[in-house]
Structures are given as C-alpha cells and as structure tokens.
A and B are shown apart, each in its own frame.
Chain A
Amino acid sequence: MRDRGLPFVLMAPAFLIVLATTLYPLSYSLITSFREWRLTRQRRPGDFVGIDNYTGAFTNHEFLSSLWVTTVFVTISVVATVVLAMALALLLRRTGRLHTFVRIILILPFAMSPALIGVSFRFMFNPEFGVLAQGLGAIFPFLKGVAWLADPRFAMGILIVTDVWHWVPYMTFMCLGGLTAVPRETEEAARIDGASGFRILWEIILPQMRGVLVVVAILKTIFALKMFDQVVTLTGGGPGASTETLAYFVFKVGFHWFDMGQASAMAWILTAIMMVISIWYVRLLMSERKLVTA
C-alpha cells in the first residue's frame, strides 16, 4: 500500500521503548561483563579485564554446578510439560459442560503469580503441618516423615512440580489450538480404514501436531531457562546449592556478592544460550508458517 512513511511513524513509539528498555541495558551489561567492578569496593566501573570474567565463570565450580542444575531442571520440566499438555489437550478437545469448566479452571494456575506458587507449595510441603506432606505420608507410608524441601532430590522435584503446574495450562491451550487445525476428516478416514484409537493418535494426530509440539517445547525451554521466582520463594536455592539455577546464581553473584562484572558475564552466557534457542524458534515461526498454523 501507499503512504510509505506511515508505518515507521506508527512504530516509532514502541521502538523507542524497546530500544531504551532492552537494547540499551543489553549493551551496557555487555560492556560491564568485560570490566572489573565490585560494588562493595568501588562506586564507578573499574578497568577492562578482557575475558577474565568469562574464564572466571567457567572455572567457578558453583557456576558449573548451577549449569548442571539448570540442565536437569529444564530437561525434566520441558518433557513433563509437553507430554502432559498434549494429553490434556486430547482430553479437553471435545465439547461438554465439564470440559468447558475444566478449561476455565485451567486459566487460574497460569494467572497465579509464580512467586506465590512457590510460597504456597512451600507451605503445603512443610513436613510438620503441610497438607501435601501429611497427605502423601498417609497414603504412601514410606513417604512419612520425609523432610521434603531439605532433601536435594525432593526439593528439585517440587521445584519442577511448581513450574509444570504453572505452565501446563498455557501449553495445553496451545496444543488445543493446534488440534483444531487437524482436520476431523483425516481422523474419520482413518477410523473407517479400521485404525484403532491408539494408532489414530500415533499415526494420524501426532504427526500433524509436530509443528505445534516443537513450538511448545521451544517456548517451554525458554521459560524454564528464565525461571527464577519459585527458586527464591520455594527453596532459596537450597538445600545447599542443589536448586540454584543459572538465573538465580547470576542474581546471587550480582546482588548478594555485588560482583557486577562477574554477574554480567554470567548473564551473557545465559543470554547466549537463550538466543540460540530463540533464533531457532523465531526462524521456525517465520519460515514454516504452514507447519505451525493454529
């Protein structure tokens, strides 16, 4: 269409915001990541130290441990979310009053503040008066008296549970959107051809859902890498450093130890990881439009 200048005028305010609030701080922290700057000792940024902060990160075993914690957390939470979301979408696909009710209910966990989710799960898993700790102990005797959040493995498990509980609804809606794009006819044709329910799912529905599932998995990976709130309010990174994810560790370096240079470098390592995944994702969105229509 004509009026060539107009689109840029329309975009200008939003771009000003985006530039000022993301690109500027991004470049600032990139520069900081090459400097020595401990807020406890100096008010102004110190000397440039080359890539010391980056090499420092990779020789810091707490950082490496947080990388490992993040990997475990992201992997399990992504797999669990995708599988559950797809299963729920299949369950909720049909129309019915109970189906609609559950769909509305599902909005609530997503709308709930993640910090609050952390708090409320901490309460429910309190070994003395937590309702889930007590309930699980009553049903499974071997779980009686477990000090849930004081045990590294259980703490990680609960952290994952809160994250999955929070994100499965959103991802279910995405899968439901994808399912509406799967034409009913293909399924009906398969049924007439004599395929069983399981084979229809495996050979007809899931292949057509491939695009959506890839999107769901990538998005969830990004969200899981960003996850921070529940670490603070649920485990505080503990016990020990067993639930210190990368995002949390960067926060700790920056705002407990006040080592800005080191924190910036670590933040940029996290950014690099996320950028690779997001570029992959955006590419997919823009190029394979047909694959991911929903």
Chain B
Amino acid sequence: MKKQLFWWGERALLVFVAVVALFPILWMFLTAFKQPLDAYRVSIFFTPTFNNFKAVFDEPWYLGRMVMNSVIVASVTVMISVPCASLAAYAFSRFRMRGRKFLFFLVLSTQFIPAVVIVLPFFLMFRQLGLLDTRLALIIVNLAIVTPFVIWMIKGFIDAIPVEAEEAAMVDGASRLRVIRDIVLPMAAPGILTSSIFCFILTWNEFLFALIITRREAVTLPVGLVNFRTERGDLWELMSAAGVMITVPIFIMAIIIQKHFTRGMTAGAVK
C-alpha cells in the first residue's frame, strides 16, 4: 500500500517537473501559430495559421538576414575554436610539462570573467577599426567566451580515453602526430562533436555582445527579438514565431546528442 502510494507520488512529481520544464516552451509554440487576436487571449483552442512565420521574414522584420547572421557567426566560431581547442585539450590531458597547471588555471579563470568587462574594450576597438555591426566582430568576441569552455570540455572527454591505445600505437611505430590522427581523433570524435554543438548553442544564444556590437547589418536572432517591441506594443505572436525559429535548430541538435550532452555538460565542470 505504502509502496504503491510512493510509486504514484513519484510518477506525479515527474509529470509535474516535465510540465514546468515544457510549459513556457509549449506556450511559445502555440502562440507562434495564433492569429494576433487569439494571441491576446488566453486560449488553447484556435485556428492555427502560418501567417506569423511569413510576416517575420517580410518587411520590416527581415528575419531571414538575422538567421543568416546567426548561422554564419555560430558556424565560423565553431570551426575556428573547436580545432584549436582540441589540440590544446590533448596537450593538457596527455603531457605533464612544466607550467601545465598554471596554464590550465589561466584558461579556466578566463571563463569566469564577466562579459561586460571584455565587451567595453572590444566596442572601442571595433569602433576605431570600423568593424562595428559586422559578423567578423561578433565572431571575434564569441571566440573569447567559447574557446576556454571548449578546451575544458574536450579535455574532460580526452581524459576519459585510456592512454593504452595511444601507447600501443607509438610502440607499433606511429609518430605522435600520427597517433593523434589515427587514434585520438577517431576515439574523441563523439566528445568533439558534442563540444562543437555546445559551442554552437552558446554562440547562437549569445545576446550581450550582439546587442552592443550590432545595429542593423549583423544583428543575430536573439537581438532581433527586441525589434518586436514597437510603439504599438509588443507583437507577441511575431516574437513567438521568431522564438520558434531560434529554438528549433538548437533543440534538434540537443536531442540528437542527448546521451553525450548530459555527460558533456558536466564533464568539464566536475572533473
């Protein structure tokens, strides 16, 4: 009897947690398909419409440009930071050289610098160089937040790979670089992929830098959201449609790698 009560209680709690986690997201998705009139009423039953998605890509919102900006900035950031970070992570994980601890400490601590400190000088610098409101500027600042984090995360994955296979390859006749190419990279591939997606998500969601550095040309999706606050008030149904555009790609990626995702999220931090 008591056991059964516990069983149901546990189930009810789990469902409650799922509802709390999902509700704000679901509500946004619902709103994205509502007519403006329905959006301003708390209604669950309504005639769905795709007009909002059409509207955000049209004048005057031009969400398409922001999607492009977000895709380019996030991809390029990943393509630069992940290869560099992987090499550094391997060095941190496998070599016991002098100064290793200090260097790693340095990398870790940069992760905790508040972004506002970095963005001030960058803003001044880009203003000087005429780089304000460009994707290049955004990529540079995003590298700052993402690179230390990715080093940290990939190191966690490489630490978990046994050294024996590498040593075997060296004895079998492989040079260090060959070992990295033939043994380490394939074995670390899931970890590197996970870190890449993490890195992509961080950059994709980045708000502060984009808010300060971009104006019109290089505006990314999260900043674009702010545009839907007009003199006529907040255009919730359009905002929600844009919100769906922001979240869907990220959610798909996150779910695809969900098994590694949870491990990756904690790998660097706890170990």
Contact = CB atoms under 8 A, between A and B. Distances in A.
Interface stretch (A6-14, A49-57, A59-67, A187-195): A6-14
A139 interface: no
Interface string B215-251: 0000001110110000000101001100100110011
Nearest to B28: A120
Most-contacted residue by chain A among B18, B120, B205, B263 (CB, 10 A): B120
Nearest to B88: A14
B160 interface: no
Given A91-B17, A113-B207, A247-B114, A11 B103 contact: yes
Contacts of A108: 21-22, 25, 251, 254
Interface stretch (A15-23, A74-82, A140-148, A200-208): A15-23
A123 B84 contact: no
A116 B87 contact: no
Contact of B110 (A10, A18, A289): A18
A176 B116 CA distance: 32
A124 B25 CA distance: 11
B41 interface: yes
Q: Is the interface of B mostly helix, strand, loop or mixed?
A: helix
A150 interface: no
Contacts of B18: 101-102, 105
B52 interface: no
Most-contacted residue by chain A among B90, B94, B109, B263 (CB, 10 A): B109
A165 B87 CA distance: 35
Contacts of B113: 22, 26, 271, 274-275
22 contacts: A6-B91, A7-B97, A18-B106, A21-B147, A28-B125, A103-B262, A107-B255, A108-B251, A111-B250, A112-B25, A112-B247, A113-B204, A115-B207, A119-B239, A120-B27, A121-B24, A131-B42, A170-B265, A177-B266, A229-B222, A274-B112, A279-B109
Given A11-B103, A91-B14, A113-B207, 17 more contacts: A3-B176, A17-B144, A32-B124, A105-B22, A106-B17, A107-B261, A110-B265, A120-B25, A131-B42, A169-B21, A232-B207, A251-B212, A255-B123, A271-B113, A278-B111, A279-B109, A294-B271
Interface of A: 1, 3-4, 6-8, 10-11, 13-15, 17-18, 21-26, 28-29, 32, 88, 91-92, 98-99, 101-117, 119-124, 128-131, 134-135, 165, 169-170, 173-174, 176-178, 212, 215, 219, 222, 225-226, 228-229, 232-233, 247, 250-251, 254-255, 260, 263-264, 267-268, 270-271, 274-275, 277-279, 281-282, 285-286, 289, 292-294
